Amino acid sequence: MLMSSLVDRFAHQLLEARAHSRSLAPISSVSTLSIADAYDIAKRLDAIRIAEGERPIGRKLGISKRQFWRNENTQDVHQGLIFTTLFSSTVRFLDDSFTIQSLAGAREPKIEPLVVFKLAKTPSTNATLYELSDCLEWMAHGLEIVVNPFNDSTFEISDAIAAFGMHGALLIGEPHILSNSTRHQLGDVLADASISLSCEERLLGAGYGSNVMLNPLNALWHLHQLINSQTRFPPLHTGEIISSGSWTMAYPIRAGQTWTTAFSGISLAGLSLSFV
């Protein structure tokens, strides 16, 4: 377990590297870093950012153990999840299906297409999947920009947790309000839906909602359970947005490219994104 002084030091190093677009060595390469230690650093980062005036608005879920999770019988499914707090400073709600995004300062940026949820009410601690779906207000298409602050590609999962969950930015398309009947069928609908990801009109990737822990609603339920098993972070609550995990592999991006997405099987519009 890291001493509080080390937790504070690593948190400030990560903030400094992010602010000045500098790389740093993975924390695990200079100190023993357990998953619990990593979340201690993440919690310290949240506290510093809130004290400096930033506003937390939700969580980002990531699947760390393998890109596509399909086995419900895994020994501990929570070991395959990581999460980080989302702040308003790195989240954009888009007014149009086309937008421009700067990559200035982003190290080794990659793109991930996903679905974002908003909670209309706080789920109970022991909410079932059905009850959790009743807590949703809307879903929307999102594009996550993943960044790597480290100077080594062989970092550990614990490093990723500590380093803002590798979150760079989240762009959110038009919200789709969910009716009662839609919410109660949402898991199955999302599991069967698919998305395509193209760059300069060339198809590079495609994926199904079932790639995200059987479906993104199921992933949200597991995130809810994981957060409730900890005492460091507040539970999911009314008004939060949740980025629920990529439907495809993460693809490298660079300035000058235009990327587009298209859904099949759900009534969400695709997005077109030019990087500068």
Give per-residue pLDDT as tens, 218-275: 999 999 999 999 888 999 999 999 999 999 999 999 999 999 999 999 999 999 999 9
Burial letters 125-164, b for 16+ CB under 10 A, else e: eebeeeebbebbbebbbbbbbbbbbbeeeebbbbbbbbbb
Cα(97)–Cα(145) distance, integer angstroms: 17
What percentage of the chain exceeds 70 in pLDDT? 94
Question: At a CB cut-off of 8 Å and minimum separation 6, what does 172 contact?
Answer: 91, 92, 93, 94, 116, 140, 141, 142, 241
Q: Give the chain's radius of gyration (CA, Å).
A: 18
- Per-residue model confidence as pLDDT tens digits over 153-210: 788 999 999 999 999 999 999 999 999 989 989 999 999 999 999 999 999 999 999 9
Cα(266)–Cα(138) distance, integer angstroms: 13
For the chain, the average pLDDT equals 92
CATH of residue 117: 3.90.850.10
Q: Which of 167, 143, 151, 160 shows the shortest CA–CA distance to 275? A: 143
pLDDT at residue 144, rounded to an integer: 98
Q: Which of 58, 78, 43, 47 shows the shortest CA–CA distance to 237? A: 58
Name the residue type at position 55: R
Range of the domain at 156: 4-275
pLDDT at residue 78, rounded to an integer: 52
Give the count of domains, the chain.
1
Model confidence at 68, in pLDDT bands (50, 70, 90)?
very low
Evaluate if residue 66 carries a pLDDT over 50.
no
Q: Kindly write down the DSSP assignment for every residue of 94-161, as one continuous string.
A: -SSSEEEE--TT-SS-EEEEEEEEEESSPPPTT--HHHHHTTEEEEEEEEEEE---BS-S---HHHHH
- Per-residue model confidence as pLDDT tens digits over 119-147: 999 999 999 999 999 999 999 999 999 99
Q: What is the mean pLDDT of residues 40-61?
A: 97
Cα end-to-end span (Å), the chain = 42
